[in-house]
Amino acid sequence: MRPGSPPTSGKQKRMAEDGKDDSVATDDDSDLTAADGSLNNTMVEEGSTLLRRMEICVAEAEKRSGKNAVSMQETFTVYLIETRPMDAVAEGRNPAPDSLWRRYSEFELLRNYLIVTYPYIVVPPLPEKRAEFVWHKLSADNMDPDFVERRRVGLENFLLRVASHPVLSNDKILYHFLTEEHGWKEVVYETGFQAKADSRLRALSATFRVRNPDKVADRLYGVYKVHGNYGRVFSEWSAIEKEMGDGLQSAGHHMDAYAASIDDILEEEEHYADQLKEYLSYAEALRAVCRKHELAQFELEMASQDLISKKQQREELATGIVRTFSFKGMTNKLFGQEAPEQREAKLKLLEELITEGEETVKEKTVECEEHVERAWVDMQRFKEQKDKDLREALINYTVMQISMCKKGIQVWSNAKECFLKM
């Protein structure tokens, strides 16, 4: 990270350390990738994830203007990604980081590629593109500095999670994303990942959002601002009271201070809300893995039914006995059986189709079994990560609430002392 750039949050540093302790990509992982047809997109180094080899951060955001694909002027935000070899840091050297700029849409492209290429992996989510939950202090404007900063932190969190994953971190496309500013999109599209994305699967991938969130923060904000009203009332009241004036005015000052503290509290609550929203987005990633399994199972069932149908046709053609009603059976009864040469040609074609069908069923069966096996492994890894992150977030949130309550007790205790002195 270059001097003057925003520091990485404590949570992200812990994530980086967790990434070092994760299970690592081995030759077995490369075999799994090869089975998926994406071996050429991996750079497996035994006993290593990318985060152990490279320091990664999203250092800053910058607003820019330019023309889009239809030559319309637009304003957008770009994010500075900085990387530095970890061995240089370990040796005490401090070389200038390599840096490049990326738009949010490029992060989306990277994630879509990872979802399609690794359908059995719970791919980390991106931060929201637009403010879905807006509190008093936070603007709904996508160019608002506070919102852009929160998104910058979220994008860095996404890169750190991907770079610490035992499989995703060794993908060459991810490495190109971090190190090659120009030509990166062309490399992604050359993988043909878009053709692999099944249209039925894409149709089901609508983003999950809470439509009517319960805005606890709104009510909390109102409670704190009521104390501001107390402060104003006590101050005005003190102006017309001689003996009680000083006590009322002092109590009013305590109430004003308590009411003003809500902005800092909401900012801290927003931090915890971002952590919870990340796991709300993870729910969609989990559903995508399950939908891919359902699709593979559906294709297996269709292939099995088609194979059964062709075997039945072969039996009917060979014996001349039609077991089910069909138009063909009726025409045979009316106009007589086909010539032996025709029947032999059809039997030969059916044999070839049955052989192909049996191979297809075998392939689909293996695909389903492998998807379940790999998905189970990654979901177990995700569960450990989720339990650790949420436990830490909930404990910290509880500590914050205790601190808030203690502050409230102290304010009212001070007010009581002021009233006792009147």
pTM of the model: 0.70
- Rounded to whole angstroms, the Cα distance separating 209 from 280 reads 8
Residues 6+ apart with CB under 8 A from 99: 2, 59, 80, 81, 82, 83
Q: Are residues 307 and 243 in the same domain?
A: yes
Identify the pLDDT of residue 142.
66
Strand partners, 102: 79
Of the CA atoms within 13 Å of residue 365, those in its CB half-sphere come to 7
Q: Is the pLDDT of residue 263 over 50?
A: yes
Long-range contacts of 341-346 (CB under 8 A, 24+ apart): 343/317, 346/317
Task: With CA atoms as reference, report the closest residue to 367 among 320, 416, 297, 418.
Answer: 297
Last residue within a domain, chosen from 177, 199, 221: 199
Identify the pLDDT of residue 126.
93
pLDDT band (50, 70, 90) for residue 197: low
- Asked, for residue 74, whether it belongs to a domain, the answer is yes
Last residue within a domain, chosen from 199, 231, 264: 199
**How large is the average pLDDT for residues 270-283?**
84
Q: Which residue has the higher pLDDT, 217 or 26?
A: 217
Q: Are residues 249 and 397 in the same domain?
A: yes
The order of strands in the sheet holding 54-67 is 54-67, 73-85, 98-103
Q: Are strands 98-103 and 54-67 parallel, antiparallel or unpaired?
A: unpaired
Identify the pLDDT of residue 324.
58
Q: Are residues 111 and 141 in the same domain?
A: yes
- Asked, for residue 205, whether it belongs to a domain, the answer is no
Which stretch of 82-91, 177-186, 201-210, 267-276 has the lowest confidence by average pLDDT?
201-210
Q: Are residues 96 and 235 in the same domain?
A: no
Q: Are residues 65 and 87 in the same domain?
A: yes
pLDDT band (50, 70, 90) for residue 327: low
Q: Are residues 235 and 380 in the same domain?
A: yes
Contact 23, 151 (CB under 8 A): no
- Rounded to whole angstroms, the Cα distance separating 42 from 165 reads 13
Q: Are residues 229 and 368 in the same domain?
A: yes
H or E, element range at 156: helix 145-163
Q: Where are the beta strands (DSSP E) in 215-280?
A: none
**pLDDT tens readout for residues 337-357:** 566 778 788 888 989 999 999
Residues 6+ apart with CB under 8 A from 278: 125, 127, 154, 157
**How large is the average pLDDT for residues 246-274?**
79
Q: What is the CATH number of the domain that holds 174?
A: 3.30.1520.10
Q: Are residues 359 and 409 in the same domain?
A: yes
- Asked, for residue 97, whether it belongs to a domain, the answer is yes
Q: Which residue has the higher pLDDT, 308 or 210?
A: 308
Exposure string for 222-242, b = 16+ CB within 10 A, e = fewer = eebeebbebbeebbeebeeee
Q: Are residues 193 and 230 in the same domain?
A: no
Q: Are residues 132 and 232 in the same domain?
A: no
Q: Is the pLDDT of residue 57 over 90?
A: yes
- Rounded to whole angstroms, the Cα distance separating 206 from 337 reads 54
Q: What is the CATH number of the domain that holds 225?
A: 1.20.1270.60
- Asked, for residue 2, whether it belongs to a domain, the answer is no
Contact 120, 375 (CB under 8 A): yes
**How many domains does one find in the chain?**
2
pLDDT band (50, 70, 90) for residue 154: very high
Last residue within a domain, chosen from 199, 233, 259: 199
- Rounded to whole angstroms, the Cα distance separating 97 from 85 reads 8
Q: Are residues 236 and 281 in the same domain?
A: yes
Identify the pLDDT of residue 132.
55
State the residue range of the domain holding 346.
Answer: 213-321+341-421
Distance set, CA 143 to CA 63, 69, 191 (Å):
8, 21, 33
Q: Is the pLDDT of residue 108 over 90?
A: yes
- Asked, for residue 303, whether it belongs to a domain, the answer is yes
Q: Are residues 241 and 142 in the same domain?
A: no
Among all chains, which residue has been given the structure tokens 């809300």?
273
Identify the pLDDT of residue 373.
94
Q: Is the pLDDT of residue 159 over 50?
A: yes
- Asked, for residue 222, whether it belongs to a domain, the answer is yes
